Amino acid sequence: MPDTATLHAAARQPAPAATSLPANAVEIEHLEKTYRAAGKAAPLKALSDVSLEIPRGCVFGLLGPNGAGKSTLINIMAGLVTKTGGAVRLWGNDIDKATRQARASIGVVPQELNIDPFFTPYEMLELQAGLYGVPPRERRTEEILSMLGLADKARAYTRTLSGGMRRRLMVAKAMVHNPPILVLDEPTAGVDIELRQQLWGRVRELNRQGTTILLTTHYLEEAEELCDTIAIINRGRVIACDPTEQLVRRLDNKELALVVSPELEAVPEALQPFEPELAAPNRLVFRYRTSDAPVGRILAATRDAGLEIQDLRTEEADLEDIFLQLTRGAHDDER
């Protein structure tokens, strides 16, 4: 535990650099993490040259499959894991040079829930506020509980709370020192869809009130629904980072499969501009952006090539497929 009284004092005294609000809530530059096992196991590179800027006020999604390095990144921000290279600034505070201010500027909801069953939510928040050195008159325990829909559970034993309530309690706990940045590591993994929607609502509300949100997830749907910007991370590398709409548009592609006769040995010249895949001697698969609307031209060119169309199928590329597609290249690389 850091020196918590100083920690809180630092949180309330804006650092000189932070007298005007930072444009970016989080800045990560060339971040590296190599885990070195004590035994014989080879070192594991969990993060490679990760650079990200998270604008103040946004909901930012870090999306990636299991093992991608999401928790490693979050835990470095939280001060739980030591980076092996690069720089991290939280609310303008470098985690190495202004550690206390940096730490005071984020609240982290870890992936694993650890809740003491013998405290009530009210007690738990008061305890956490104490750890951060928040003086009693500045505590907002009731307000935070009601913001997260837990006002009527303030004095219930936490062991009686549902999974969704516990998750919200963890968010409440991360908010006691009023951090401008809230970080949620896989907040809805293993949470059913209804509770997920509830939690999303709370997160949106916190964001409307000015909190910058960083969440990690391996659900594309979740990132798409909640986030303004999505970064995709795989095997420790950022492989995409775009405004959500742009990313989804990039993912907006369709597939047209044609069964043709006669059988082909190669793609006929008339069809080459469309770059189809000859999936089988009688099967051509075209991939295109919905917005390009080339189907009429493809069908005309197929007939011009002297082919008869025996069957036709179109398929909306589903986001999960594209996600795999985007991450596939990275899978092939060795670290």
**Residues that bind ligand ADP in the complex, under the rule CB under 6 A:** 35, 44, 46, 64, 66-72
Sequence letter at residue 22: P
Q: Is the dihedral of CA 102, 106, 109, 115 positive or negative?
A: positive
CB of 47 to Mg ion, least distance (A): 12
Chain positions 67 to 106 lying near Mg ion, rule: CB under 5 A, are: 70-71
Stretch of 109-117, 121-129, 223-231, 290-298 contacting Mg ion, by CB under 5 A: 109-117
* Cα 158 from chain centroid (whole Å): 28
CB of 72 to ligand ADP, least distance (A): 3
Q: How far apart are CA 120 and CA 104, in angstroms?
A: 24
- Work out whether 217 is an interface residue with Mg ion (CB under 5 A): no
Nearest to ligand ADP of 45, 249 (CB atom): 45
Nearest to Mg ion of 61, 92 (CB atom): 61
CB of 235 to Mg ion, least distance (A): 14
- For residues 20 to 59, the per-residue mask of contacts with Mg ion, x marking binding by CB under 5 A and - elsewhere, is ----------------------------------------
* Partner touching 241 among Mg ion, ligand ADP, none, CB below 5 to 8 Å by kind: none
* Partner touching 66 among Mg ion, ligand ADP, none, CB below 5 to 8 Å by kind: ligand ADP
Which residues of the chain form contacts with Mg ion (CB under 5 A)? 70-71, 111
